[in-house]
Amino acid sequence: MRRLLNNSITWTGGSSGSAAGQFTVPSYVLATLPATSGGKPGSVSVGNTTVPQSFVATGLDYAYAVGQVAYNIDATYNQRTRSSLVKLS
């Protein structure tokens, strides 16, 4: 993953009614990450969490449930490369 330029992360799918999306991690944020070395990769994670839904249960004053999905991929953070795109689907 390049650290000198902005990195775009895109995705498709998700829960019903959701659309494909994209966001950009600015280079000034990536520049704070140490370069990967010694064969130990870093990682990139993207997740989605549903809106909390309340429910009633005996013995609880308040109860909420959420659904969550997360994707993690290994990534090499390298200052020398000039192009990279992370795509999750």
Q: Report pLDDT digits (tens) over 51-67.
A: 899 999 999 999 999 99
Which residue range is the domain that position 34 belongs to?
Answer: 7-88
**Residues in CB range of 46: below 8 A, 6 or more apart:** 9, 11, 70, 71, 88
Residue 58 lies in a domain: yes
Residue positions counted in the chain: 89
Residue 82 binned pLDDT confidence (cut-offs 50, 70, 90): very low
Residue 12 lies in a domain: yes
Residue 53 lies in a domain: yes
Q: 3-class SS at 12?
A: coil
Q: What's the structural domain count of the chain? A: 1
Residue 2 lies in a domain: no
Residue 28 lies in a domain: yes
The whole-number average pLDDT for the span 16-44 is 76
What was the pLDDT predicted at 23?
Answer: 81
- In this prediction the pTM is 0.52
Indicate left, alpha or beta for 27 from its phi (over 0: left) and psi (-120 to 50: alpha).
Answer: alpha
**Residues in CB range of 32: below 8 A, 6 or more apart:** none
Q: Flag whether pLDDT at 25 surpasses 50.
A: yes
Residue 1 lies in a domain: no
Residue 64 lies in a domain: yes
